[in-house]
């Protein structure tokens, strides 16, 4: 029997006041004076619960709890706790029922009583099932089953029945079918007599009841899983109604199940068998069981009404006694309220004054912070303006030089002077390229860490490239460039990111040249430590320039602060040393310097490189000219870029090329003419290099396609690889490196036209 949820408060009152009525109601405990042992009358409690005498059962259980607490009878106390939990479950007071079950479990757990814990866990499962709290049910069920299985307790099969009911109530038909099949197989094939029961005489009856319950739910699951087709009704039609009634008894739940059984038979003869007489027969039987269940329910509600009346009557008597007490304390309460109200007013006034002074202080502090922040923002804004003023100067200077030198080259007829102008023109363009790289790199390194692209190379080759880049700038200032590189095995290569490392040395070299008026600049590479797998090299960039004062050490490597030092001594963007320090972090290294004002500065850092030995590399190799001619297609929308690339290609013996400015025309040309290589620009109008490559790959998957782009290769590499671009060449490039890459593809030359599928597009 279950109370409506609106009666929970009354139920709680019942528990609170039940001790007042405990005496004279009989007892569930029997105390042996000689042994001082106490026994719990479970049979009496079961009769009270069966007869719905829940009021009396609650009173007696509270009496048992008080008695066992008084005499510290832990086992009896635990039994009374979980028994009261069961009664509260029938009264729909699930929260308190759970609390009493957990109290009992804690006692059994402390005493190490596995059988007690087994009983409590099984009762908790029933409580969660009645409450339809399936999440808690699922958390406790496997633990309870393990206890029952270890103890060979019949509660294992009762828990299994509750698992079946859970799936039945929650309409999980597949799970219901699976669990009920397992339950039937288990109870039929297992020796039930080895399982302990609360009453040995009920062993066989319990097995029959459980088997009928399993079969009933299994039959319902079969019907629903078969979507009410004829084959799903086989088990249901085989169930014996008399056996079910005998197993379930005449209680409310049994009548509901029998009503359900006959209703499904009605559905069978209505929808499947089409036997109207049988359908009406089972519909009438189903209705009769429903009416019996409703009648039983109304009787129980009547008993509930009597129980509620008793509780309300008790409450009224207590209210009458309390009324007299309330009158006696009314005056004192009034005075207490006045005192509390006055105190609250005083506290409120104190809080208001405190908050007022605190807010005033906070406002003053905030105003002070805002003034400081405003000064910092103004200083930052001033710094930015000064930086961009310097940057404007640094950009205009090489641009002016390039423009002017180009005019001089055009006007000058003397070969020696023209070559001198050309050298200066290359120097200005190299410096401008480095400056732009620094600006872009500084912005990029603020937001992401540089990832290195390591490839085998020789350190002396990279240093020579750096020297060739900056030598004209040194010559323009009449400075001498020195290099000193410790010897190493000719077959030895190191894994290095050539682009990133070159940027480090170029920035340091330009920095040294910029601050040196006369004398020399040296790049030294010293072997510091070596193992079988790696080598540690120290790099020193030494100049005889103006030097750096110790007071400027904190700002030398800052991107926007070191200009204060730069403005006093020379021009410059102030980004070079910042980028050097940031790039060295990616090499797990750091930079430092020693300096003496007026005599020069030496910047130095150490990097450990992995060693790669090339057994075939006896001397620097150059790629030979291919035996056959190479025909190359250049795709670029910029006429100057086309002119430069075309001239660089045609300077290679045996190489010819065609140029195309639009992507769609390039696709058509590759489709109908034989090319050995395609140089593809990425940023083009109408159709970019990615889209052009994707179309070419649809009919010619083998022709090498190289991206020739001014974009950062790290940014586009993944997208380029996805569309089928073989390699990326970043503009501006070193002509010799460009030539080496083109020649490397000449050795793999194939007649790609023979492999073209002209019907693919």
pLDDT in tens, 309-359: 454 454 455 455 556 666 667 777 777 888 898 898 888 988 998 888 888
Strand, helix or coil at 448?
A: coil
Domain with CATH 3.30.565.10 in the chain: 425-613
In terms of Cβ atoms closer than 10 Å to its own Cβ (0-12, 13-18, 19+), residue 321 is exposed
Which CATH architecture fits 630-755?
3-Layer(aba) Sandwich (3.40)
The answer to whether 147 and 177 are in contact (CB under 8 A) is no
HEC-encoded secondary structure of 524-570: EEEEEEECCCEEEEEEEEEECCCCCCHHHCCCCCCCCCCHHHHHHHC
The CATH class for the domain spanning 1-149 reads: mainly alpha
Q: Contact 218/235 with Cβ under 8 angstroms?
A: yes
Can you give the pLDDT at residue 172? Answer: 92
Ramachandran angles phi, psi of 366, nearest 5°: -65, -40
DSSP state of 153: B
CA atoms of 436 and 317, how far apart (whole Å)? 94
Q: What is the DSSP string of 354-371?
A: HHHHHHHHHHHHHHHHHH
Given a contact cutoff of 8 angstroms between Cβ atoms, the answer to whether 39 and 68 are in contact is no
Cβ–Cβ under 8 Å, residues 133 and 95:
no
- Among residues 498, 404, 429, the alpha carbon closest in space to that of 460 is found at 498
Strand, coil or helix: 64:
helix
What three-state secondary structure class fits 111? helix
Given its phi and psi angles, is residue 26 left (phi above 0), alpha (psi -120 to 50 degrees) or beta?
left
- pLDDT given for residue 56 in this prediction: 81
Q: For residue 296, report the phi and psi dihedrals to the nearest 5 degrees.
A: -60, -40
Question: How many CB atoms sit inside 10 A of residue 541's CB?
Answer: 24
To 10 degrees, what angle do helices 8-17 and 276-411 make?
100
Residue 352 CA, distance from chain mean position = 46
pLDDT at 311: 47
* 706 membership: H or E segment, kind and range: strand 705-709
pLDDT at position 15, please? 44
Closest CA to 639 of 666, 661, 656: 661
**Contacts of range 37-46, beta carbons closer than 8 Å, 24 or more positions apart:** 38/67, 38/68, 38/71, 38/73, 38/76, 40/64, 40/76, 40/79, 40/80, 40/83, 42/79, 42/83, 45/83
d(CA 636, CA 680): 7
Instruction: Check residue 239 and report its DSSP letter.
Output: S
Residue 631, judged by CB atoms within 10 A of its CB (0-12, 13-18, 19+), counts as middle
CATH code 1.25.40.10 region(s) in the chain: 1-149
d(CA 560, CA 218): 79
Token code pair at residue 598: 């007026």
Identify whether the C-beta of residue 426 lies closer than 8 Å to the C-beta of residue 473. Answer: no
Q: Read off the tokens for 93.
A: 């007071």
Query: Would you state the pLDDT for residue 4?
Result: 46
Cα 133 to the chain's mean position, in Å? 30
Which tokens belong to 387?
């930086």
As a whole number of angstroms, the distance between CA 512 and CA 519 comes to: 11
By residue count, the chain amounts to 761
Q: From the CB of residue 514, how many other CB atoms can be counted at a distance below 10 Å?
A: 19
- Crossing angle of helices 114-131 and 155-169, in 10° steps, is 20
Q: Find all residues with CB under 8 Å of 483, minimum gap 6, and list them.
A: 463, 464, 467, 522, 523, 524, 525
Calpha distance 40→279 (Å, rounded): 51
The CATH number of the domain covering residues in 425-613: 3.30.565.10
Say how far apart CA 491 and CA 592 lie, in whole Å.
32
CATH 3.40.50.2300 domain extents, the chain: 630-755
For residue 710, give both structure tokens.
Answer: 């001014």
Report residue 377: phi and psi, to 5°.
-65, -40
Weakly modelled stretches of the chain, pLDDT under 70: 1-28, 30-40, 50, 52, 197-202, 250, 297-328, 379-401, 403-405, 408, 417, 421, 423-424, 427-428, 430-450, 559-574, 614-628, 712-715, 747-761
Contact 19, 62 (CB under 8 A): yes
- Pairing mode, if any, of strands 677-680 and 630-635? parallel
């Amino acid at each position: 029997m279950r109370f409506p949820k609106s009666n929970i408060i009354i139920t709680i009152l019942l528990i609170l006041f039940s001790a007042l009525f405990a005496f004279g109601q009989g007892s569930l405990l029997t105390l042996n004076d000689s042994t001082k042992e106490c026994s719990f009358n479970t049979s009496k409690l079961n009769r009270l619960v069966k007869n719905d005498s829940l009021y009396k059962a609650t009173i007696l259980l509270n009496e048992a709890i008080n008695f066992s607490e008084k005499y510290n009878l832990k086992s009896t106390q635990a039994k009374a706790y979980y028994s009261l939990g069961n009664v509260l479950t029938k009264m729909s007071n699930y929260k308190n029922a759970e609390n009493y079950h957990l109290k009992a479990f804690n006692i059994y757990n402390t005493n190490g009583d596995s059988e007690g814990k087994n009983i409590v866990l099984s009762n908790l499962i029933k409580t969660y099932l009645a409450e339809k709290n399936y999440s808690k049910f699922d958390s406790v069920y496997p633990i309870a089953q393990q206890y029952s299985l270890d103890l060979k307790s019949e509660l294992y099969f009762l828990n299994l029945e509750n698992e079946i009911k859970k799936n039945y109530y929650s309409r999980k038909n597949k799970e219901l079918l699976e669990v009920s099949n397992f339950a039937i197989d288990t109870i039929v094939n297992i020796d039930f007599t080895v399982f302990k029961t609360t009453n040995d005489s009920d062993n066989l009856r319990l097995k029959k009841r459980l088997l009928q319950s399993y079969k009933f739910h299994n039959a319902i699951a079969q019907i629903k899983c078969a979507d009410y087709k004829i084959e799903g009704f086989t088990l249901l039609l085989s169930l014996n109604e008399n056996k079910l009634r005998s197993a379930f008894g005449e209680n409310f739940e049994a009548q509901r199940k029998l009503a359900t059984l006959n209703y499904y038979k009605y559905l069978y003869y209505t929808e499947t068998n089409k036997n109207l007489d049988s359908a009406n027969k089972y519909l009438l039987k189903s209705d009769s069981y429903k009416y019996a269940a409703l009648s039983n329910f109304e009787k129980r509600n009547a008993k509930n009404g009597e129980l509620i009346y008793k509780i309300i009557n008790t409450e009224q008597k207590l209210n009458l006694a309390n009324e007299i007490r309330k009158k006696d304390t009314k005056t004192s309460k009034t005075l207490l309220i006045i005192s509390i109200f006055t105190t609250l007013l005083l506290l409120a006034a104190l809080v208001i004054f405190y908050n007022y002074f605190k807010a005033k202080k906070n406002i003053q502090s905030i105003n002070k912070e805002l003034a400081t922040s405003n000064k910092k923002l103004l200083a930052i804004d001033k710094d930015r303006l000064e930086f961009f003023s310097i940057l404007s100067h640094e950009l205009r200077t090489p641009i002016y030089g390039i423009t002017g030198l180009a005019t001089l080259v055009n006007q000058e007829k003397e070969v020696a002077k023209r070559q001198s102008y050309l050298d200066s023109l290359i120097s200005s363009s190299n410096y401008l390229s480095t400056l732009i790289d620094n600006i872009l790199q500084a912005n990029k390194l603020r937001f992401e860490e540089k990832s290195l692209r390591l490839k085998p190379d020789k350190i002396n080759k990279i240093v020579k490239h750096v020297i060739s880049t900056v030598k004209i700038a040194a010559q323009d200032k009449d400075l001498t460039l020195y290099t000193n590189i410790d010897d190493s095995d000719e077959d030895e290569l190191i894994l290095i990111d050539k682009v990133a490392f070159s940027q480090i040395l170029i920035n340091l070299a330009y920095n040294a040249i910029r601050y040196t008026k006369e004398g020399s600049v040296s790049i030294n590479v010293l072997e510091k430590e070596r193992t079988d797998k790696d080598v540690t090299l120290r790099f020193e960039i030494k100049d005889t320039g103006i030097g750096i004062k110790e007071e400027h050490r904190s700002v030398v490597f800052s991107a926007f602060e070191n200009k204060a030092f730069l403005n006093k001594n020379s021009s410059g963007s102030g980004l070079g040393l910042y980028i050097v320090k940031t790039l060295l972090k990616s090499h797990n290294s750091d930079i430092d310097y020693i300096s003496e004002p007026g005599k020069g500065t030496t910047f130095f850092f150490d990097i450990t490189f992995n060693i790669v030995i090339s057994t075939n590399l006896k001397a620097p190799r150059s790629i030979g000219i291919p035996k056959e001619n190479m025909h190359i297609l250049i795709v670029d929308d910029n006429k100057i870029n086309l002119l430069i690339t075309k001239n660089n290609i045609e300077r290679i013996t045996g190489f010819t090329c065609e140029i195309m400015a639009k992507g769609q025309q390039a696709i058509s040309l590759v489709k109908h003419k034989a090319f050995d290589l395609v140089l593809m620009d990425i940023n083009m109008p109408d159709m970019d290099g990615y889209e052009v490559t994707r179309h070419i790959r649809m009919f010619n998957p083998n022709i090498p396609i190289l991206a020739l782009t001014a974009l950062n290769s790290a940014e586009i590499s993944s997208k380029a690889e996805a569309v089928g671009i073989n390699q990326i060449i970043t503009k501006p490039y070193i002509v010799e490196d460009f030539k080496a890459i083109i020649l490397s593809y000449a050795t793999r030359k194939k007649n790609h036209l023979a492999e073209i599928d002209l019907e693919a597009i």
